[in-house]
């Protein structure tokens, strides 16, 4: 049963809506982006490390569960992809959103909206993107090393195989997968920002995130964990392969997906993007 808050006159205040209407959802996202971008560099970086660890834990679970189903993959590849997507990355993003972490991919949408609405300056946008990206990288690498040293993956080939596949993509394919991936990730972040309950946030996150993993798309922060872990576990991938064939094109695609595919339509509909374009 929903509890009603009593105001000073003794009347009950209505509970907050479970989900904000679209115009309020956009304005809330702009406010969230402005708050993120105006935080000190050190704070963004530190929370970025935390988010890198959260997403890495999600990828770690996905590889451990969905990546360890060779029989299912052979007999029912669609089911194996659903298992890979449903158990892992969603819980990583939930941890970040609930705890107030700084995730670069989400910031490409929220912070961009704040910039386009004139709430922050270009230097704030750059600070947010760079500090969160570097922090995410540090956290992801840290978890990759811990996952490698933990021995929990046994002799399974999934980590090396997934990393090899990602580092072997043509540049344009990696870029396109980055666009599609962050389109879904930022929709998850955007929708969750308008939910007032934990179950609402979890629902908003679960479906888009499990979908992008099942579809085989590429998330730059998840790949900061997956590919280094594969390298530690014997994948024949050089640092140049990691950066040039995957991380750079995927990151650029993620920016396009978050800023243009997600936020631009809502900014032009509920904000001032058209006037300031």
* Per-residue pLDDT at 275: 59
Least trusted range by pLDDT, from 38-42, 178-182, 197-201? 197-201
pLDDT in tens, 256-273: 999 999 999 999 999 988
Ordered by start, the domain boundaries in the chain are: 39-276
DSSP letters spanning the chain: -PPPEE-TTSPEEPPPPSB--HHHHHHHHHHHHHHHHTS-HHHHHHHHHHHHHHHHHHHHHHHHHGGG-HHHHHH-HHHHHHHHHHSSHHHHHHHHHHHT---HHHHHHHHHHHHHTTSS-HHHHHHHHHHHHHHHHHHHHHHHHHHHHH-TTTT-SHHHHHHHHHTTS-HHHHHHHHHHHHHHHHHHHHHHHTB-SHHHHHHHHHHHHHHHHHTT---HHHHHHHHHHHHHTT----HHIIIIIIIHHHHHHHHHIIIIIIIHHHHHHHSSHHHH-
Architecture of domain 39-276: Up-down Bundle (1.20)
What tens digit of pLDDT does each residue of 23-72 get? 999 999 999 999 999 999 999 999 999 999 999 999 999 999 988 888 89
Whole-number pLDDT of residue 277: 47
**pLDDT digit string, tens, across residues 6-30:** 555 556 666 667 788 999 999 999 9
* pLDDT at residue number 1: 40
């Amino acid at each position: 049963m929903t509890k009603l808050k009593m105001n000073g006159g003794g009347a009950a205040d209505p509970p907050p809506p479970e989900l904000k209407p679209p115009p309020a959802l956009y304005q809330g996202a702009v406010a969230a982006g402005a708050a993120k971008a105006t935080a000190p560099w050190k704070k963004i970086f530190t929370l970025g490390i935390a988010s890198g660890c959260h997403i890495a834990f999600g990828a770690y679970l996905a590889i451990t569960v969905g990546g360890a189903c060779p029989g299912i993959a052979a007999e029912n590849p669609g089911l194996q992809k659903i298992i890979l997507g449903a158990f892992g990355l969603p819980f990583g993003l939930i941890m970040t959103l609930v705890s107030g972490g700084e995730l670069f991919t989400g910031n490409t949408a929220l912070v961009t909206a704040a910039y386009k609405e004139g709430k922050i300056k270009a230097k704030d946008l750059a600070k947010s993107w760079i500090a969160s990206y570097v922090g995410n990288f540090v956290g992801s690498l840290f978890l990759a090393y811990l996952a490698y040293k933990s021995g929990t993956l046994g002799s399974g080939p999934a980590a090396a195989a997934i990393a090899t596949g990602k580092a072997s993509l043509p540049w344009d394919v990696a870029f396109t997968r980055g666009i599609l991936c962050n389109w879904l990730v930022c929709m998850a972040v955007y929708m969750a920002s308008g939910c007032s309950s934990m179950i609402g946030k979890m629902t908003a996150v679960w479906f888009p995130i499990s979908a992008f993993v099942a579809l085989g798309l590429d998330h730059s922060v998840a790949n900061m964990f997956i590919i280094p872990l594969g390298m530690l576990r014997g994948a024949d991938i050089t640092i140049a392969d990691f950066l040039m064939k995957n991380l750079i094109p995927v990151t650029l695609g993620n920016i396009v997906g978050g800023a243009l595919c997600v936020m631009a339509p809502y900014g032009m509909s509920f904000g001032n993007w058209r006037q300031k374009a």
